[in-house]
């Protein structure tokens, strides 16, 4: 009999890749989203036919309870969040409501309706201080510097509380930066990939960026959703840091992206001081030894694969658009 999975944030980068992975593994997949969307760009038509989408006001506890009772999921993946950290300073009340309060309601409902279900919560590297020099593991102290990070830490402790006090199989995957062609355009690597393709096609002359020396521990989203599945299918729940353990600069991605299309980035780059983040964090790098050792997690995509995947996707999008215009 097929397992039943419920994913919040199913239309986003991680949720869509996770849905595809679970369908390949013969799951029945349900997705929970806030409102009806005319076009779900991250889920192709074939995948949409194989999943069931549910539209729900996340603040409505009664409707959430009814839905969970109906679906009765074996595995829950809670990925929905106000995900852009730069915005959390501007609207902290919305951030807390979306990233903390719904997590609490969700945990409460799942535990009461189906206490045997496995629950995965998506944490973030923003839960840690920007001044940590050593690699971050599961024992590193939290010290968030934004409403987003604070909400993630609080949610993590809720997950841990439910695991410790109710014997509920709830885990947190602390995700470091991960990208893909499906990343939102507000994020810098997506902006670069799209600009490179447009410049190659003669549709754009320059790319305007902020601090290109900024460093991140960047991986590919496909590797990270596989890690989520590994974590949420264990007999014993636990928390895991998920990252590459390596740092790369924005400039390195920029250079490799332009090289992929045979161009030199220095001819097209314009530094714009207005694009520097006011509270940009220093480099944080993961120590993923626990998940590598305990769950045998191995990445399939390195940094060069990520660059190629993102740039090729944007090139293909433009080719498809130009073909349709003819």
Angle at 304 between CA 298 and CA 308, to 5 degrees: 115
Residue with tokens 């039943």: 4
**Which uninterrupted H or E stretch holds 271?**
strand 269-271
Among candidate residues 75, 126, 179, 314, the one labeled active-site is: 126
Cα–Cα distance between 280 and 92 in angstroms, integer? Answer: 17
The yes-or-no answer on residue 162 being catalytic is no
Among candidate residues 124, 155, 171, 195, the one labeled active-site is: 124
Record the tokens describing residue 175, joined without a space: 């995700």
Strand ranges (DSSP E) for 103-242? 118-124, 170-175, 178-179, 207-209, 215-216, 219-220, 240-242
Of 249, 127, 118, 103, nearest to 176 by C-alpha is: 127
Record the tokens describing residue 232, joined without a space: 């949420």
- The DSSP-derived string for 110-121 is HHHH-TTSEEEE
The yes-or-no answer on residue 77 being catalytic is no
Cα–Cα distance between 6 and 244 in angstroms, integer? Answer: 27
Of 24, 28, 48, 46, nearest to 36 by C-alpha is: 48
What is the chain's length?
326
- Which are the contacts of 147, defined by CB distance < 8 A and separation ≥ 6? 88, 89, 92, 95, 96
Cβ atoms of 128 and 177 within 8 Å: the answer is no
Cβ atoms of 195 and 249 within 8 Å: the answer is no
The yes-or-no answer on residue 126 being catalytic is yes
Among candidate residues 27, 128, 148, 240, the one labeled active-site is: 148
Please give the positions annotated as active site: 124, 126, 148
């Amino acid at each position: 009999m097929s397992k039943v999975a419920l994913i919040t944030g199913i239309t986003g980068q991680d949720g869509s890749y996770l849905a595809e992975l679970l369908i390949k593994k013969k799951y029945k997949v349900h997705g929970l989203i806030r409102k009806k969307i005319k076009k779900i760009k991250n889920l192709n038509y074939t995948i949409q036919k194989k999943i069931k989408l549910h539209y729900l006001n996340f603040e409505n506890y009664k409707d959430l309870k009814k839905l969970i009772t109906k679906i009765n999921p074996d595995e829950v993946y809670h990925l929905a969040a106000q995900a852009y950290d730069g915005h959390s300073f501007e609207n902290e009340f919305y951030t807390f409501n979306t990233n903390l309060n719904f997590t609490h309601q969700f945990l409460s409902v799942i535990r009461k309706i189906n206490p045997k279900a496995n629950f995965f919560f998506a944490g973030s590297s923003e839960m840690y201080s920007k001044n940590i020099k050593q690699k971050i593991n599961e024992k590193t102290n939290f010290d968030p510097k934004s409403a987003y990070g604070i909400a993630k830490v609080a949610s993590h402790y809720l997950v841990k509380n439910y695991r410790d006090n109710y014997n509920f199989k709830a885990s947190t995957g602390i995700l470091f930066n991960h990208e893909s062609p499906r990343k939102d355009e507000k994020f810098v690597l997506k902006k670069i990939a799209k600009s490179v393709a447009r410049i190659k096609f003669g549709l754009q002359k320059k790319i305007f960026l902020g601090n290109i020396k900024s460093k991140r521990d960047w991986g590919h989203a496909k590797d990270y959703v596989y890690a989520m599945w590994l974590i949420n299918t264990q007999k014993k729940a636990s928390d895991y840091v998920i990252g590459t353990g390596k740092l790369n600069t924005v400039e390195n991605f920029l250079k490799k992206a332009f090289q992929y299309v045979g161009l030199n980035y220095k001819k097209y780059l314009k530094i714009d001081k207005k694009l520097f983040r006011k509270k940009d964090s220093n480099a944080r790098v993961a120590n993923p030894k626990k998940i590598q050792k305990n769950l045998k997690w191995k990445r399939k995509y390195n940094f060069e694969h990520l660059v190629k995947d993102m740039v090729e996707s944007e090139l293909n999008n433009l080719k498809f658009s130009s073909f349709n215009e003819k």
